Structure 1
């Protein structure tokens, strides 16, 4: 049976996150696992503000949040193209759904690019039958999310399945470095590949390739790392290119980030 993803890719300083809040992942109901990567739950009770930064995956999230005794808010977060930062204060809970890249399209049924870089409140019951999902045990929160997503009636789509397989290949095969070579290997034109990715994932294949390679660089960043070797391994033209990409995405240089983790 598949287990929730155990890596920390995309989370900047994950050890600090786990010291300050309760963070865990759970699998959805079996019928939803084709489209949903996992549910992610966070609970906090803080005496001072806590800021967390995330380098987003090429994935859509549906997020429910309740701060203290306030009302529960719900939103769809499209693929984030910029560094995401959130500051938590007081107490609260989040119940989130991370879809697999391309996995939100059968629920959304429109071009996912409409959501890219945007966070759209779920205020219309036509979007989702919103019921409280931040209350109760982890199992109860997961069951509430299962019920909500099942009620959204995702529609199987062979083309969408093809796109999801292509993204998974990019994620797992470090040798995928160029869009034209990848398209040729899978017998699809570059133009069609770009169109499919924008419609079903929300971003283009080049962005997906670079993001997954950068996630690996962030996760492996430590003092003394051979950055020139890593750059070559991940398909960057040189170390300077990787350093520029890393700094532009995370806001800090690789050396500074490695030092902060230590």
Structure 2
């Protein structure tokens, strides 16, 4: 699990990039209103006008911890933002009740204190399998190894493709194929360099060619890579806090 904190107003507009991670967010508005949300995995980018918050603390949940902590499989959270206290798990309701009255600087210490006792003991074999699958289907920035296909990953892990899909639905929220697409696009967002041509970037990220990369990037980000990196973004949309994507 990792945490991140934001104070003050973000730059306008801001982009929510595709993200296969479930998050718990504690935010305080200028009016003093505070809420605790569960934000499910994002399958596509969205673009929004800036919104001023006095504070925002975000906890990114490691894959496989959504069900023991929140009481629901990750697939049920995809594209959704839900008040933490509305989830069925007693763990989730107690966590929400404990977080709501806290000042922002107390959120992270509180989480560090209470979360270990509220997470079910991990299934080490399942967790290890998931870690290996996630690594296999993600580009490796260190050695330039392209990600494996779903079939290659399943074979290398000694499981069927169906077993792999079920594992990802439960513990990640998206299919292995869509996870790989998100991982490749996020790799482009973080590794793009003027010194590397689009064609070189495409091959190093695991695409067949530049046109394959452009089509995939456009599908998830709403614009092709060249447009995104020169600031030609889609029109902003109001945030829909409790909708389903």
On whether the aligned pair clears a TM of 0.5, the verdict is: yes
> What pairs up with 1:106-255 in 2 under 5 angstroms?
106-124=68-86, 126=90, 127-129=92-94, 130=96, 131-132=99-100, 135-137=103-105, 140-150=106-116, 152-158=118-124, 159-171=126-138, 173=140, 174-223=145-194, 225-255=196-226
What do the CA deviations read for 1:133-182 (whole angstroms, capped 9, x no partner)?
76253xx3311222453453333223244213421343364332311111
Query: What CA distance in whole angstroms lies between the structure 2 residues aligned with 1:119 and 1:209?
Result: 23
Equivalence for 1:78: 40
What do the CA deviations read for 1:8-51 (whole angstroms, capped 9, x no partner)?
xxxxxxxxxxxxxxxxxxxxxxxxxxxx1x101110157xx733
Where 1:123 maps in the other structure, the secondary structure is helix
Query: What CA distance in whole angstroms lies between the structure 2 residues aligned with 1:64 and 1:87?
Result: 20
What do the CA deviations read for 1:69-94 (whole angstroms, capped 9, x no partner)?
32211111111112144443344211
Distance 1:165 1:258, change over 3 A: same
Where 2:213 maps in the other structure, the secondary structure is helix
> Which one of 99, 107, 113 corresponds to residue 61 of structure 2?
99
Query: What CA distance in whole angstroms lies between the structure 2 residues aligned with 1:148 and 1:84?
Result: 33
Kindly indicate which of the two structures has a greater share of residues assigned to strand. Answer: 1
Query: What CA distance in whole angstroms lies between the structure 2 residues aligned with 1:249 and 1:135?
Result: 36
The unaligned stretches of length 5 or more in structure 2 are 233-245
Where 1:93 maps in the other structure, the secondary structure is strand
The unaligned stretches of length 5 or more in structure 1 are 1-35
Deviation of 1:108 after TM superposition, in Å, equals 3.1
Distance 1:56 1:146, change over 3 A: farther
Asked if 1 retains the 8 angstrom alpha-carbon contact of 2:137 and 2:150, the reply is no
RMSD of aligned residue pairs (Cα, Å): 2.6
Distance 1:163 1:109, change over 3 A: farther
Distance 1:229 1:238, change over 3 A: same
Query: What CA distance in whole angstroms lies between the structure 1 residues aligned with 2:226 and 2:135?
Result: 30
Count matched residues.
221
Where 1:198 maps in the other structure, the secondary structure is helix
Query: What CA distance in whole angstroms lies between the structure 2 residues aligned with 1:100 and 1:241?
Result: 30
Which deviates the most, 195-204 or 49-58?
Answer: 49-58
Asked if 1 retains the 8 angstrom alpha-carbon contact of 2:23 and 2:60, the reply is yes
Distance 1:99 1:115, change over 3 A: same
Query: What CA distance in whole angstroms lies between the structure 1 residues aligned with 2:116 and 2:59?
Result: 13
